[in-house]
Chains A and B, each alone.
Chain A
């Protein structure tokens, strides 16, 4: 995957239906259910979630990325019925997350580890423009702050079949966790939650270990 340089305004980048998204390459990623059952590290943080077997219904996610020299945006699309409201107490909403390593040794599978944290941008369907900036050092350690704290902004559309979600942030590191260096490589991973299947927390599908991406100069 490549984060391409484009000549587009920040507002255009944020629009998941903008034509500019057709001009950059998008890549399909295979998603798999997170390995919860029989995972001792999961059992330590919750022997209850360790028993989950019916999660991870979403098996494919397509992602594209772009920057305009000041803002970076990712567009994520996946097929899923729309679950965007917690109308009843037993309902969950759809969600998606993009994860980046914050240290050389950071692992996406374990959501980081002590001293090797990961950063994630998290979007959920009932607060579709907000987004959360997450940092984690292992399963169950994630801390969320509102996306507004780091100017992480989202926009989402559901076209009747699929979600198309854009997450956008200034390139500049500032008070943010992840640093993007134009013209060099980066690592990325994805997670997705099917609210209709009561997916939340570790009950999700994910893209496995971090994958290399390029950021166009």
Chain B
């Protein structure tokens, strides 16, 4: 729906003619945070947004970002009943560390005073921060493991944030299914944050309104992939529309069924899919010899991606075997992505050509953020 009246039924707010989607290949993410930085520079450098990482990458197993979001509730129960969860606080969302730059750089104390962060909220040593538990991972020695898990708003088909807002500030854009949060309608009640099981909405205490990932809609409108997708040097990303059956993304999600949503049990039908990590470092046997098995238990992946992930991992391993035997594998070709531009179907435009004054959101007078 493009701009429904305030009392419009929730079903209308969730309608869209098209749906943009993503794949993120967890086998290729190297945790470089280029996506995080691309997003931060574009969208969250305003007062009150310092703590926000609409795009974020943490290591799994771990508490994730926002901290412990997986156990904060939200989304829907199995029968579709709304299930409000907890709110995130400043520490959960990684704080906004302040540094003693003045002391270190400008007071002649460079040798005696060390650069150190303090919490923006307490002024004390931080107790938690973005990527605080990076690389701790899981598994028992010598078979420890971790993988990177990039996350953003999933622009869910059945978005509980849309259901939650009493002001209908959240809705799907008709032309691309991007879930946006209208800053004019938002009253800062944060019911959406309680409702989102991924905790992908952040409160701005300066504007007293909530904000979220906009999937770079001004770029998308002009055929340019979102910044996080385009900046990824790992070629982890594919982007496109779910009705584009020729796209590489569509083939991997729908035809080959090797891309899965995160936590499908939340009931929100996310539109960002993951290629599960299927080829972790090989495990040591008890006698110290190296086995052919990976280190990540399927049960760990099932917790993230649901019961189908075992089958997906089997399929991916079989496909890799084909390539090792010099047999063709469309799945492997699609995942490798030799041509960067094939990964973005309709969204191959160059951001240097972006006309920043002609987005639909600006031309229809609404302020979407």
A-side interface residues toward B, CB under 8 Å? 44-52, 86-90, 114, 138-142, 144, 198, 200-202
Asked, given contacts A48-B82, A51-B82, whether A89 binds B166 with beta carbons under 8 Å apart, the answer is: no
The answer on a CB contact under 8 Å between A48 and B168 is no
14 cross-chain CB contacts under 8 A: A46-B163, A46-B191, A47-B82, A47-B164, A48-B195, A50-B82, A90-B86, A139-B166, A141-B6, A142-B187, A198-B87, A200-B188, A201-B187, A201-B191
- Given the complex, which residues of A lie within 8 Å of B10, measured CB to CB? 44
Q: How far is the CA of A138 from the CA of B168 in the complex (A)?
A: 13
The answer on a CB contact under 8 Å between B87 and A45 is no
Q: How far is the CA of A51 from the CA of B195 in the complex (A)?
A: 11
Number of interface residues of B (CB under 8 A): 34
In the complex, whether B203 has a CB less than 8 A from a CB of chain A is: yes
Q: How far is the CA of A45 from the CA of B51 in the complex (A)?
A: 30
Asked, given contacts A86-B205, A90-B88, whether A47 binds B6 with beta carbons under 8 Å apart, the answer is: no
Q: How far is the CB of B53 from chain A (nearest CB, A)?
A: 14
Q: How far is the CA of A142 from the CA of B166 in the complex (A)?
A: 10
Residues of B290-318 at the interface with A, using a CB-CB cut-off of 8 Å, are none
Asked, given contacts A89-B203, A140-B7, A200-B190, whether A48 binds B163 with beta carbons under 8 Å apart, the answer is: yes
The answer on a CB contact under 8 Å between A89 and B93 is yes
Residues of B143-195 at the interface with A, using a CB-CB cut-off of 8 Å, are 160, 163-168, 187-191, 194-195
- Given the complex, which residues of A lie within 8 Å of B195, measured CB to CB? 48
The answer on a CB contact under 8 Å between B164 and A86 is no
- Given the complex, which residues of A lie within 8 Å of B142, measured CB to CB? none
Nearest first, the 7 A-B pairs at minimum CB distance are A47-B82, A90-B87, A48-B164, A140-B166, A201-B189, A89-B203, A90-B89
Q: How far is the CA of A202 from the CA of B165 in the complex (A)?
A: 11
- Given the complex, which residues of B lie within 8 Å of A46, measured CB to CB? 163-166, 191
Q: How far is the CA of A86 from the CA of B163 in the complex (A)?
A: 25
Given contacts A51-B84, A140-B167, 7 further A-B contacts (CB under 8 A): A44-B10, A46-B166, A51-B82, A51-B83, A88-B89, A89-B89, A201-B187
Q: How far is the CA of A46 from the CA of B167 in the complex (A)?
A: 9
Please classify the interface of chain B as helix (H, G, I), strand (E, B), loop, or mixed, using the class held by over half of its residues.
Answer: loop
The closest CB in chain B to the CB of A139 belongs to B166
Q: How many A-B residue pairs have CB under 8 A?
A: 75
The answer on a CB contact under 8 Å between A140 and B168 is yes
Among candidates A51, A86, A114, A202, residue contacting B166 with C-beta atoms closer than 8 Å: A202
The closest CB in chain A to the CB of B6 belongs to A141
- Given the complex, which residues of A lie within 8 Å of B205, measured CB to CB? 86, 89
Indicate the member of A49, A51, A86, A200 with the most B CB atoms within 10 Å: A49
- Given the complex, which residues of A lie within 8 Å of B87, measured CB to CB? 89-90, 198
Q: How far is the CB of B287 from chain A (nearest CB, A)?
A: 51
Q: How far is the CA of A45 from the CA of B189 in the complex (A)?
A: 14
Q: How far is the CB of A212 from chain B (nearest CB, A)?
A: 29
- Given the complex, which residues of B lie within 8 Å of A47, measured CB to CB? 81-82, 163-164
- Given the complex, which residues of A lie within 8 Å of B165, measured CB to CB? 46
The answer on a CB contact under 8 Å between B191 and A87 is no
In the complex, whether B9 has a CB less than 8 A from a CB of chain A is: yes
The answer on a CB contact under 8 Å between B121 and A87 is yes
Q: How far is the CA of A52 from the CA of B87 in the complex (A)?
A: 14
